[in-house]
């Protein structure tokens, strides 16, 4: 059932859609015409030949050439008879959804019929017969752990492989294995970077995977750099535009947008900013300065309606201000100008500090060139770089793969769940940092997910299959112990969304803090504050208009609904572990209600705890001694609690702990992690005084005695 281009073209040109047996729509024909102009389209024949010949193909092209939307359709028609599925993975949920939506339109079918999308906590858009499924790499990985031969699929397309996310890396390893187990399984690895040599080496046995690079027309893009202090006049190109006072990338970008509007030919503008708040601030400033312009933000946490707006055609000049989501995964047509701040937000794990830190860091040269390439798709473009050419030259050539800077608990569990591989000997495309791997194994042992020989336990297998982070899975288990399972599941759901349920629209951020949180605030716990708000929302009477209620309470109805759906799924996935009594929500009126939740949080999040610096409202993480402030919106600010657990350590201008709960020292000092942790102890094997002394005069004596007793029993 190999297809030829002629056959498929005839099918596409026909009157009736074979998938729906209805006549094709007007819109379909319009899109078909556009699709046939994409560079990938002209290579359909060559592609099919390769696809028939090889099991693994590495395919690269510039962004916007049609890889994500067209290649899966080529495969779809080729595999139409096979009844097996085709998966196309994306690192981001937004990209999976957007691609599936677009492709459904291109195929003139309803989303969820032949084409659908699937990601963690949301798989509504897929029926069992859906043949082409766009999904996040993480979602396919969870499926693959339980089905290592990918038996439901005839072809796996790993898209955006150049992003090298952790799930993509693990998937590639599992696929490398699977093609040897199943000769009929096809794998296509798609990348937007031309340097595919690493992938090629990785997939060189048992058969060499060919690399296919699709070239197409790309117009020249001029580069402008900001004037650097040490640069000579001659190295400047038209530096007058960006006179080098260089106050900040935000101001600079606004000034350049103004310049483009006033002095350059019309054309859409794409501005890259590191994070959401920069995006919003820049949008606000540009709207004030450039009134006739359509200014649109784009970042992954935006609602899909807002995101879709960037694709809409308009007669106005469009200025999209985006995070690096617009770098390769989404293509906005008609971009002529790119403004690149040279920075991106990235999550970095520091295994020694045991902290995941969200930080703003310089991008790589490869990223900078990708950003530049967003201009010049339809005609020559211009890229304004808000840094000097020297700075560009000093950037790393390529982005470090995430595995080298990620926290690895999930990864270790997933690799073990997939086949009890030895994570040290696992066939990684790039090896993770040994220290991070060691930490992950240690912490998984502490949580009971790995045994003493670092083999996965029954509980570990369940944690791996669960859609939430192991640390939250662990905290829910503690919730069962302390009789607050339902609450802990809700708190875990509340902690698994990308956004807070409390809205802080940039313009009204301070007002929002006043109308929102305080009504639900619990003086001991931000986690309980979240729970209070969520409970109030979910218990609203049927006739209450939830949207306006949310508005009046500074909450986001959309995020709360997302939490609700995660909550339902988590509850469902835990039913087998819970008995009848656990399913009863604990009573608010019970005096132990709050204490139990705090105890469960203490026992679950003990890796992430901090103690107050005496006499100050600052904290130090335990036992690594990293200083941080409480996040300003925390209900705990000023309350001077001695010891807290937190959900995240954030680094921006200052270091902050977000979503905190007060815990009592005696709850966590008893945990093996603290009682036996080497890091807490000095050379003499005793718990270092500083950890104990500072805050717990009350329990100090007792603790030290206890620890001394423990020490003497473990001394050789």
Which residues bind to ligand ADP, rule: CB under 6 A? 38, 61, 63-70, 98, 102, 311, 331, 333
How far is 125 from 104, CA to CA, in rounded Å? 11
Minimum CB–partner distance for residue 302 and Mg ion (Å): 19
Among the listed ranges 62-70, 586-594, 667-675, 693-701, the one in contact with Mg ion (CB under 5 A) is 62-70
410 contact, one of ligand ADP, Mg ion, none, CB 5-8 Å limit per kind: none
64 contact, one of ligand ADP, Mg ion, none, CB 5-8 Å limit per kind: ligand ADP
Among the listed ranges 61-69, 223-231, 247-255, 258-266, the one in contact with Mg ion (CB under 5 A) is 61-69
The answer to the question of residue 68 lying near Mg ion (CB under 5 A) is yes
The bridge status of strand 643-651 relative to strand 609-612 is: antiparallel
Minimum CB–partner distance for residue 271 and Mg ion (Å): 21
Please say which residue, 98 or 634, places its beta carbon nearer to ligand ADP: 98
331 contact, one of Mg ion, ligand ADP, none, CB 5-8 Å limit per kind: ligand ADP
Please say which residue, 311 or 506, places its beta carbon nearer to ligand ADP: 311
Using CB under 5 A as the binding criterion, the count of chain residues that bind Mg ion stands at 2
Long-range contacts of 585-594 (CB under 8 A, 24+ apart): 585/486, 585/487, 586/483, 586/484, 586/486, 586/487, 592/483, 593/484, 594/522, 594/524, 594/525, 594/528
Please say which residue, 68 or 370, places its beta carbon nearer to Mg ion: 68
**Taking a C-beta distance cutoff of 8 angstroms, is the pair 505, 492 a contact?**
no
Q: SS3 for 296-338, per residue?
A: EEECCCCCHHHHHHHHCCCCCCEEEEECHHHCCCCCCCCEEEE
Among the listed ranges 68-76, 340-348, 398-406, 554-562, the one in contact with Mg ion (CB under 5 A) is 68-76
Please say which residue, 335 or 687, places its beta carbon nearer to ligand ADP: 335
Minimum CB–partner distance for residue 67 and ligand ADP (Å): 3
Residue nearest to Mg ion (CB): 68
**Taking a C-beta distance cutoff of 8 angstroms, is the pair 417, 464 a contact?**
yes
Minimum CB–partner distance for residue 326 and Mg ion (Å): 12
Q: What are the beta bridge partners of residue 384? A: 224, 339
Minimum CB–partner distance for residue 44 and ligand ADP (Å): 13
**Cβ neighbour number for residue 276 with a 10 Å cutoff:** 18
How far is 253 from 613, CA to CA, in rounded Å? 40
373 contact, one of Mg ion, ligand ADP, none, CB 5-8 Å limit per kind: none
The answer to the question of residue 647 lying near Mg ion (CB under 5 A) is no
Minimum CB–partner distance for residue 159 and Mg ion (Å): 6
Please say which residue, 68 or 367, places its beta carbon nearer to Mg ion: 68
How far is 89 from 95, CA to CA, in rounded Å? 9
Q: Please name which of 605, 641, 604, 610 lies closest in space to residue 628, comparing C-alpha atoms.
A: 610
Minimum CB–partner distance for residue 640 and ligand ADP (Å): 51
Please say which residue, 68 or 659, places its beta carbon nearer to Mg ion: 68
98 contact, one of ligand ADP, Mg ion, none, CB 5-8 Å limit per kind: ligand ADP
**Taking a C-beta distance cutoff of 8 angstroms, is the pair 270, 339 a contact?**
yes
- For residue 227, give the DSSP letter: P
Please say which residue, 69 or 659, places its beta carbon nearer to Mg ion: 69
Q: Please name which of 340, 317, 318 lies closest in space to residue 327, comparing C-alpha atoms.
A: 340
Minimum CB–partner distance for residue 48 and ligand ADP (Å): 17
**Cβ neighbour number for residue 172 with a 10 Å cutoff:** 23
Please say which residue, 65 or 674, places its beta carbon nearer to ligand ADP: 65
How far is 107 from 115, CA to CA, in rounded Å? 9
38 contact, one of ligand ADP, Mg ion, none, CB 5-8 Å limit per kind: ligand ADP
Residue 597 CB burial class (10 angstroms; 0-12, 13-18, ≥19): buried
Please say which residue, 157 or 257, places its beta carbon nearer to Mg ion: 157
73 contact, one of ligand ADP, Mg ion, none, CB 5-8 Å limit per kind: none
Please say which residue, 79 or 159, places its beta carbon nearer to ligand ADP: 159
Q: How far is CA 683 from the centre of its chain?
A: 41
Minimum CB–partner distance for residue 337 and ligand ADP (Å): 17
CA triple 283-285-291, angle to 5 deg: 85
How far is 225 from 336, CA to CA, in rounded Å? 17
Minimum CB–partner distance for residue 65 and ligand ADP (Å): 4
H-state helical runs in 455-591: 458-465, 470-481, 485-494, 509-515, 526-538, 546-552, 557-574, 580-583
Would you mind telling me the total number of residues written for the chain in this entry?
Answer: 716
Minimum CB–partner distance for residue 68 and ligand ADP (Å): 3
Please say which residue, 41 or 478, places its beta carbon nearer to ligand ADP: 41
Q: What are phi and psi of 178, to 5 degrees?
A: -65, -35
């Amino acid at each position: 059932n190999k297809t030829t281009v002629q056959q498929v073209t005839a099918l596409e040109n026909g009157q009736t859609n074979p998938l729906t047996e209805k006549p094709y729509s007007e819109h379909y024909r319009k899109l078909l015409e556009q699709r046939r102009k994409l560079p990938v389209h002209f290579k359909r024949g060559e592609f099919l030949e390769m696809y028939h010949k090889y099991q693994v193909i590495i395919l690269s092209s510039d962004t916007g050439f049609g890889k994500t939307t067209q290649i899966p359709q080529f495969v779809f028609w080729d595999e139409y008879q096979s009844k097996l599925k085709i998966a196309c993975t994306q690192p981001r949920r937004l990209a999976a959804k957007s691609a599936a939506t677009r492709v459904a339109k291109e195929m003139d079918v309803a989303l969820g019929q032949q084409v659908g999308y699937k990601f963690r906590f949301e798989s509504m858009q897929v029926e069992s017969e859906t043949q082409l499924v766009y999904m996040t790499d993480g979602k396919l990985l969870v499926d693959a752990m339980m089905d290592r031969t990918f038996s439901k699929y005839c072809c796996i397309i790993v898209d955006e492989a150049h992003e090298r996310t952790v799930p993509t890396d693990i998937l590639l390893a599992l696929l490398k294995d699977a093609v040897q187990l199943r000769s009929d399984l096809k794998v296509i690895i798609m990348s937007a970077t031309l340097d595919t040599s690493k992938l090629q080496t990785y997939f060189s046995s048992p058969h060499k995977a060919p690399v296919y690079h699709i070239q197409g027309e790309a117009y020249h893009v001029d580069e402008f750099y900001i004037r650097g202090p040490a640069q000579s006049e001659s190295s400047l190109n038209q530096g007058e535009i960006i006179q080098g006072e260089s106050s900040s990338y935000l101001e600079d970008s606004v000034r350049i947008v103004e310049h483009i509007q006033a002095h350059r030919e019309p054309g859409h503008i794409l501005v890259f900013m590191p994070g959401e708040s920069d995006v919003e601030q820049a949008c606000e400033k540009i709207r004030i300065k450039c009134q006739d312009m359509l200014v649109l933000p784009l970042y992954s946490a935006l609602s899909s309606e807002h995101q879709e707006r960037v694709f809409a055609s308009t007669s106005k000049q469009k200025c999209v201000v985006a995070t690096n989501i617009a770098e390769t995964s989404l293509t906005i047509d008609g971009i002529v100008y790119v403004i690149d701040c040279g920075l991106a937000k990235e999550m970095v794990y520091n295994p020694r500090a045991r902290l995941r830190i969200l930080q703003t860091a310089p991008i790589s040269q490869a990223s900078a060139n990708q950003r530049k390439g967003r201009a010049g798709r339809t005609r020559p473009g211009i890229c304004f770089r808000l840094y000097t050419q020297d700075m560009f030259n000093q950037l790393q050539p390529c982005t470090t793969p995430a595995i080298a800077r990620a926290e690895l608990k999930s990864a270790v569990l997933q690799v073990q769940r997939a086949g009890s591989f030895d994570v040290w000997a696992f066939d990684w495309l790039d090896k993770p940092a040994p220290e991070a791997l060691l930490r992950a194994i240690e912490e998984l042992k502490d949580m009971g997910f790995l045994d003493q020989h670092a083999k996965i336990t029954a509980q570990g297998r369940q944690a791996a299959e669960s859609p939430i982070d192991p640390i939250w899975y662990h905290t829910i288990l503690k919730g069962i112990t302390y009789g607050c399972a339902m609450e802990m599941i809700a708190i875990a759901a509340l902690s698994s969304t990308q956004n807070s349920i409390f809205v802080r629209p940039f313009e009204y951020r301070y007002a929002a803090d006043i109308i929102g949180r305080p009504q639900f605030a619990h003086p001991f716990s931000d986690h309980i504050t979240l729970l209070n708000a969520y409970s109030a929302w979910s218990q609203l009477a049927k006739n209450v208009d939830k949207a306006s209620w949310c508005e009046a309470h500074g909450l986001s109805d959309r995020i709360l609904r997302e939490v609700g759906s995660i909550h339902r799924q988590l509850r469902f996935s835990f039913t087998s572990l819970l008995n009848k009594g656990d399913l009863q929500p604990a009573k608010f009126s019970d005096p132990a209600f709050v204490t139990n939740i705090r105890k469960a949080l203490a026992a679950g999040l003990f890796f992430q705890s901090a103690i107050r610096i005496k006499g100050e409202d600052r904290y130090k993480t335990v036992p690594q001694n990293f200083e941080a402030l409480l996040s300003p919106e925390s209900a705990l600010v000023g309350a001077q609690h001695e010891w807290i657990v937190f959900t995240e350590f954030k680094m921006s201008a200052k270091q902050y702990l977000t979503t905190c709960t007060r815990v009592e020292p005696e709850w966590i000092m008893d945990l093996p992690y603290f009682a036996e942790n080497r890091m807490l102890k000095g050379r003499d094997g005793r718990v270092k005084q500083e950890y104990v002394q500072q805050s717990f005069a009350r329990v100090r004596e007792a603790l030290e005695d206890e620890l001394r007793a423990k020490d003497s029993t473990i001394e050789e």
